[in-house]
Amino acid sequence: MRILSAMILLLLFPSCAGDIPRTDVIFISIASSYGTEGSLNYLENPPGDQRALSEQLTYISSRKKIPFKEYLFLEDNGRMSISGDERPWGRKEILSLLENLESEDNDLIIFHYSGHGDSNGSMIMPDGTRLNPDDLLYRLRRARGMKCAFIDSCYSGRYVNGGSTLVNGEIFYEGQLVSESFANALIPSLKLFFTVSEPSHWNTWVLSAATSSQLSYDSWDEGLDRQSEFGAFTYYLLKAFGYRMDTGTPALPEGRLTFYTIYDTIKSTMSETLWRRATPQATLTPVDLVLF
C-alpha cells in the first residue's frame, strides 16, 4: 500500500509547470491588400488580419507584463508603411530586418504573413519582389531566439514540408484532405524512422494555412461572428490566441498558449469543409514552443 501511494505521488508531483522567462516578444507581420478594391489581385482582409493580431499580442503581452516589440509591414489600398511610417518596402527590407534583428536566445519571435503566395510558396510583396521559403526560413532560423511563424497564403505548406520528425497520417486526393488517422501514420512513420537526415535544431515552428498544393482563402463565411472580416485561416488563428470575435476586442486566452495548443484549437474549431480544402500544416516535432 505504501509503495502504491508513493508511486501515485511520484506521478502527480512533477506535473507543475515552470515559469516562462520574461523575455521580449517580437512580432513581425507582413500584410498586403495589393492595391485598391477592384484591382486584379486585390485582397480585402490582410490589413485587418494584421491589425487584430497586433492588438491581441500587444494586449496579452501588456497583461502579462512581457516586453513587446513589433514591426508591421503593411500595404493597405496602395499605401505602404512600416510600423506606421509611410514608406515603400519589399523583400530587401524584410530580409534586412531579420538579419539585423536585435534579439536574445530566450526571446520569442512571432512571424506572420497574410497575402498572396505563388505556386512555389513564395510570398508576393506589393512591390513585385518575392520572398521564397528557403530565404525566409534560412534567415528566420539564424535569428537569435525561439521562432514561430504563421503563414496565411496559398501553397504555404511549402514552409512546413521537410521540417517534421513525426507523421500525422494525412492522406490527400486532388488537393483535398480525404483521410486522417493514427493507422495511416504507422507505415510512413516506420519508413521515416529508417531515413537518414540532418539532425534537427528545434527553434522554429511553422503553421501554414494550407498544404503546398492548396489555395487559402481571403475570407470564408459560415455565419460566425465577424468571420468575413478576416482571412479564413487567420480568423481561427485569432480565436485560438483568445481574440473575442463577438465583441471584436482582444482578450486573455485561457491557460497556457503553446504552438500545439493553438494548432489543436484551430483543428477542433475549424469547420470540416474548410479543413479539407485548406488544411493547416504544422511543423511536427515532439517538442512544443511555449508562447504565453
178 touching another protein, by CB under 8 A: no
Query: Which residues in the 124-143 window bind another protein by CB under 8 A?
Result: none
Please report, as residue ranges, which positions from 260 to 279 form the binding site for another protein (by CB under 8 A): 260-261, 263-264, 267
Burial class (CB in 10 A: 0-12, 13-18, 19+), 224: middle
Choose the binding region for another protein from 47-55, 122-130, 238-246, 257-265 (rule: CB under 8 A).
257-265
**Is 124 in contact with 85 (CB distance < 8 Å)?**
no
Which of 81, 129, 219, 258 touches another protein by CB under 8 A? 258
- Interface with another protein by CB under 8 A: which range of 42-50, 198-206, 210-218, 273-281? 198-206
Contact 202, 21 (CB under 8 A): no
Residue numbers 68-97 binding another protein by CB under 8 A: none
- What's the rounded Cα separation, in Å, for the pair 47 and 31? 6
Rounded to an integer, what distance in angstroms lies between the CA atom of residue 283 and that of residue 157?
A: 10
The site string for another protein over 31-70 (x = CB under 8 A, - otherwise) reads ----------------------------------------
| Residue 190 binds another protein (CB under 8 A) | yes
CA separation for the pair 1, 127 (Å, rounded): 72
Exposed, middle or buried: residue 218 (CB in 10 Å: 0-12, 13-18, 19+)? buried
Look up residue 8 and give its amino acid. Answer: I
C-alpha–C-alpha distance, residues 170 and 95, integer Å: 33
Q: Does 108 bind another protein (CB under 8 A)?
A: yes
Site residues, another protein (CB under 8 A): 3-4, 7, 10-11, 13-18, 20-21, 105-106, 108, 146, 164-169, 180, 182, 185-186, 189-190, 192-193, 199-203, 258, 260-261, 263-264, 267, 282, 284-290
